[in-house]
Amino acid sequence: MHTNRLANESSPYLRQHAHNPVEWFPWGEEAFAKARTENKPIFLSIGYSTCHWCHVMERESFENDAIAAVLNRDFVSIKVDREERPDVDRVYMLFVQATTGGGGWPMSVWLTPALKPFYGGTYYPPESKYGRPGFVTVLTHLAQAWRDDREKIDESVVEIMDQLRGYAALGEAAGAVDKDVADVAFQHFRRLFDKRLGGFGTAPKFPRPVVFNFLLRYWKATGEEEALGMTVATLRAMARGGVNDQLGGGFHRYSVDARWFIPHFEKMLYDQAQLATSYLEAYQITGHADLADEARRIFAYVLRDMTNAGGGFYSAEDADSAIHPSQPKQKAEGAFYVWDMRELEAVLGAEEAATFSRHFGCLPDGNVEPHEDPHHEFTRKNILFGAVEPAPPFAEARAKLLQYRNMRARPHLDDKVLTSWNGLMISAFAKGAQVLGDPSYVQAARRAAANITATMYNSETGVLRRTGSIDGFLDDYAFFILALIDLYETAFDPGDLSLAVALTEKMLTLFEDKANGAFFSTAEGDANLVMRLKENYDGAEPSGNSMAALALLRLAAITGRQDFQQAAARTIAAFHGRFTTQAAAVPQMLCAHLFARLTPRQIQFAGENPHELVKIVHAKFAPFQVLLRSSEQSGPAEARICENFVCRLPVRSPEALLTQVE
C-alpha cells in the first residue's frame, strides 16, 4: 500500500488520501519549494471529506496507478481541505467561477510555482464523458503547454490576476445605504418563492437559512406577512420532506428535486445550527409547536451523533456509506438512511409497518421513481417523508427503526472541530435555551464554548485558531463572538461579554480595512496567498463580513462603544455597491443594515434573580434589541427598557414587562 505525506495531517479529508499512489503534499512551503526547484506546475485539488464527487474522483483517478504516475512525473500535487483552509479555497474558487462560469468540489486548479492559477475546473472523469474532458487528456495537454508554451501561460497569468482583483473588489463605499434595499431583496425572494412546494427557485433546492433570517427580520421591521408566510411554509415543507431525517433528526445538505423528497444525504453542522435557529425564531413568532419540535429534533441529533467528549461539535457526516458492514468498500449514496419494505416489516411487524408506511410514503417496490434515480441507487428502496399530515408521532416505531438503523455501517464522520461552525451551533443552543427553557441546551452551549476557549484561544496573544494548527479567519472570530454574545444574553455571565469584546478588538486589528471599510477574510502577512479577499456572499453559511457587522452593532448597543459602531457603519457602507446591484446575495448583511437602521433597544435586568422577567423577553422574537445584566444584583428583580441609552422607569412584574416588550 502506498503512503504519502498526508498520513501525518490532522484533517480527515487529507488522511482519506494518505494511501493514494499520488505523491500528495499538504498546502505549504515543502510543496512550493519543490515546484520552484523542479520548475513544475502545481496541481491543486480542493475538497472535503463528505463530498460525494470528491470520493468519485479519488476512486477513478487518484487511486489509479497510471494516472498517479502522470501526476507524479509532470506536476507537484497538493491536496487542500476547503473546510480547514477556506482562505485558499476562496481565491481559487473565484478563479474557477470567473473562467468557467461555475464552481464546486472537487475543485481542480493548475498553478504556476508562484501559486498563480492558469487553468481550472471541478470534477474530471478519467476519460472523456458526461460532456467533460477526461482527466488524463487535461493532464497531458497542460504538461505539454507548460513545456512548449510557458511564455504564453506567464502572460495569461498576469491578465488573470488583474481580472480577479477586479471581480473581488467591492467598489468604493458611498455613504448611507438606501433604506429601500431591503424592499428590493424581499421582492426578489417573493418572485423566486415556490408557492406550491416551498423554497426558492426550482430543483435542486438548498436550505439557505440566511434568507429566513432576513425575511423574518423584514417581517418584524415592516409587518409584511408574506415574508413570514414564505419562511414558515418552506420550513414546514422541509420538515415533511426526505431532506429531513425522519428517524434521527437533523437535515441533509439539499434536495435534488423540487419537493424536498430525495436528499443529497450528507449532513453538515452549519446547516443544523442555522436551521435550528430558524425553526426557533419561526416558533417565537407563530407559537406553532411543530416548529419547536423540529428544533428539538435537530438538537437531539447533534448531541447524540455530532458532539465529542469535550463538548465540541463535529463538522459533518458523509452521504455515502457501506451497503453492508462486511463490505466496507462497496458504498452507496444514502445507504444508511433508506429502507425496503421487508426491513420495515421485520422490525415493526406487518400491521405496524403498514400503518407507518402510509404516513411515511413507503411502498412495496420503493417510493423513488426510475426517472428520479438515474444512477439506480434507490431501486426498491424507500426514503421516509411525511406523506400524510398531520402524522402521528410514531415515537415507539421511530425508536425501533432508529435502533435497527444504528446497526448498519455508519457514514464517515468528519470529526474536525471548527471554531466558526461551533460558533453557529453554540448560538443555536443558546437560542434553544432561551426559547424552549431546556437547561441541557445552555449546558451544551457552555461546554462547547469552554472547549473552543481551552483549545483554540491563546489568552496571551489574543489569537483565536480555526483548528488546533491553523489560525482563525474572519468567520471564526465573527461567528464565535456572536456565540459569546448569545451566551451572555442567555445566562448573563460577564466573562462571555469580556471575551467577546477582547476578540472583537483583535478582529478589528487583524482583518479590518480601515481605509475602505469592511473586513478581509484573512490576516495580513501570508505570502502564500496571492490575494486577500473580502467575502461578500451570504450562501450556505453567512459571510464573515455580515456576521462581523452584526457582532459590532450588538456589542456597541450593549457596551456603548462608539468605535464598534463606527466600524460596523464602515462595513455596511462598503457594501453599498453590492446592495445596489445584488441585494439578495447578502441577506445576512441586510439583517445588519436593518439592525443599524432601527435603533436597537437595550433591556437591562437588575436585582436578585430576574429569571421570570428574562423569560418574558426570551419568549418574544425581537431581533432589534440587546439584553444586559446590571451590576446591581440586590433588591427586587426589575427590568428597564432603554433606547439610545435613555431609559424608561423600571418594571418589576412579568405582566407589566409584557406590556412594554414588542
| pLDDT for 559 | 95
Spatial distance between the Cα atoms of 121 and 621, rounded to a whole number of angstroms: 44
Of 134, 168, 202, which one is at a domain's C-terminal end?
Answer: 168
The sign of the CA dihedral 395, 401, 406, 411 is: negative
Task: Determine the structural domain holding residue 86 and report its residue range.
Answer: 5-168
pTM: 0.96
**589-601, pLDDT tens digit by residue?**
999 999 999 988 9
Are residues 89 and 235 part of one domain? no
- In this prediction, residue 482 has a pLDDT band, given cuts at 50, 70 and 90, of very high
Q: Residue 131 pLDDT > 90, yes or no?
A: no
| pLDDT for 169 | 82
Spatial distance between the Cα atoms of 371 and 469, rounded to a whole number of angstroms: 46
Q: Residue 12 pLDDT > 70, yes or no?
A: yes
Are residues 81 and 10 part of one domain? yes
Q: Is 345 exposed, middle or buried (0-12, 13-18, 19+ CB in 10 A)?
A: middle
Q: Residue 324 pLDDT > 90, yes or no?
A: no
Looking at residue 498, the DSSP 8-state letter turns out to be H
| pLDDT for 241 | 98
Are residues 248 and 154 part of one domain? no
Are residues 236 and 138 part of one domain? no
Are residues 342 and 234 part of one domain? yes
Quote the distance between the C-alpha of residue 538 and its chain's center: 10
15: in domain: yes
Spatial distance between the Cα atoms of 424 and 316, rounded to a whole number of angstroms: 14
Measured from the Cβ of residue 446, the count of other Cβ atoms closer than 10 Å reads 20
Are residues 351 and 249 part of one domain? yes
What three-state secondary structure class fits 501? helix
Spatial distance between the Cα atoms of 602 and 489, rounded to a whole number of angstroms: 11
| pLDDT for 392 | 80
Are residues 160 and 224 part of one domain? no
494: in domain: no
pLDDT (average), residues 469-495? 98
Q: Residue 339 pLDDT > 90, yes or no?
A: yes
Contact 27, 92 (CB under 8 A): no
405: in domain: yes
- In this prediction, residue 129 has a pLDDT band, given cuts at 50, 70 and 90, of confident
| pLDDT for 187 | 97
Spatial distance between the Cα atoms of 55 and 61, rounded to a whole number of angstroms: 10
| pLDDT for 176 | 67
Own/partner contacts of 120-127, CB < 8 Å, gap of 24 or more, are: 120/92, 120/95, 120/96, 121/96, 122/53, 122/96, 123/53, 123/56, 123/57, 124/57, 124/61, 125/60, 126/60, 126/61, 126/64, 126/67
pLDDT (average), residues 454-461? 97
| pLDDT for 249 | 98
Of 396, 416, 436, which one is at a domain's C-terminal end?
Answer: 416
Q: Whose grid coordinates read 466558526?
A: 420
Q: Residue 243 pLDDT > 70, yes or no?
A: yes
- In this prediction, residue 175 has a pLDDT band, given cuts at 50, 70 and 90, of low
Q: Whose grid coordinates read 469592511?
A: 518
Q: Residue 173 pLDDT > 70, yes or no?
A: no
**630-661, pLDDT tens digit by residue?**
988 899 999 999 987 789 999 999 999 999 98
Which CATH number do you get for residue 62? 3.40.30.10
SS3 content of the chain, % helix, strand, coil (to 5): 50, 10, 40
Domains identified in the chain, total number:
3
Looking at residue 115, the DSSP 8-state letter turns out to be S
641: in domain: yes
Are residues 283 and 157 part of one domain? no
94: in domain: yes
40: in domain: yes
> How, if at all, do strands 117-121 and 107-111 pair?
antiparallel
Measured from the Cβ of residue 293, the count of other Cβ atoms closer than 10 Å reads 15
**15-46, pLDDT tens digit by residue?**
999 999 999 999 999 999 999 999 999 999 99
pLDDT (average), residues 227-254? 98
Q: Whose grid coordinates read 427557485?
A: 201
| pLDDT for 171 | 66
498: in domain: no
pLDDT (average), residues 424-438? 98
Are residues 235 and 159 part of one domain? no
Are residues 111 and 225 part of one domain? no
- In this prediction, residue 174 has a pLDDT band, given cuts at 50, 70 and 90, of low
Of 363, 389, 416, which one is at a domain's C-terminal end?
Answer: 416
pLDDT (average), residues 326-349? 93
Tell me what the pLDDT averaged over the chain comes to: 95
27: in domain: yes
**365-405, pLDDT tens digit by residue?**
999 999 898 888 899 999 999 999 877 889 999 999 999 99
Are residues 99 and 30 part of one domain? yes
| pLDDT for 182 | 96
pLDDT (average), residues 599-616? 95
Are residues 119 and 25 part of one domain? yes
